Structure 1
Amino acid sequence: MISLTLIGKPDCHLCAVASDVVDAVVAELPDALAEDIEITELSILDDPDLYEKYWEKIPVLLIDDELHGHWRISPDRLREALAAKAAP
């Protein structure tokens, strides 16, 4: 299972764009890979630790709890990262 965690907050334009990018990239993947991906969206407003760590960087995308990117999420870079995770 590959875990994607998108950290943002409500009413954040870049966060909405990042969510759309993640959804679009996962939708383009082969079914076997897409079914192995779990997407979680968290808000910095609900967790003081997330707020402290990421408030200047949202949206933040973690892949398997490791920082993949922040501010603007590149579809091409995300595709490459997911393909590398899926490779045997």
Structure 2
Amino acid sequence: MADMSSLFRRNATKASRTPQTSKAPQTPTAPQDRHVTLIRKPGCHLCDDAQAVIEKVCGDLGVPWEKKDITQDPQLHDQYWEQIPVVLVDGEQHTFWRVNEERLRKALTE
């Protein structure tokens, strides 16, 4: 069996020779530069609860937000129907089902 440390060194050496084609985008620093998306559906009480938290946090911080209805978008429905409500921050999934106010506020201010 191969020594694990030699495998890590080999992979690290290989990775260091691989040219970087693009840099990762920098995360916005100001809350106003962030964007929150709530993916929901009509008649969903958890979605209503999530929206109330998002309205409060985004309102306090001046963060723009939007809501999207999975019943109007087949792609969103296929991707998220088991998890709604889903909250995205800057296009990345932040949470689903229940939105924690403190966690969302922290994600938008760090």
For 1:66 and 1:44, locate their aligned partners in 2 and report how far apart those are by CA, in whole Å.
17
Name the aligned partner's letter for residue 45 of structure 2: H
Residue pair 2:58, 2:65 contacting (<8 A) in 1 also = no
TM-score, normalised relative to structure 2: 0.68
State the identity %: 44
Q: Who is 2:88 aligned against? A: 62
CA-atom RMSD in angstroms:
0.8
Which structure has more relative contact order (CA 8 Å, sep 6+)? It is 1
Unpaired runs of at least 5, structure 1: none
- Structure exhibiting the larger radius of gyration computed from Cα positions: 2
Q: How many corresponding residue pairs?
A: 78
TM-score, normalised relative to structure 1: 0.85
Q: Who is 1:8 aligned against? A: 40
Unpaired runs of at least 5, structure 2: 1-32
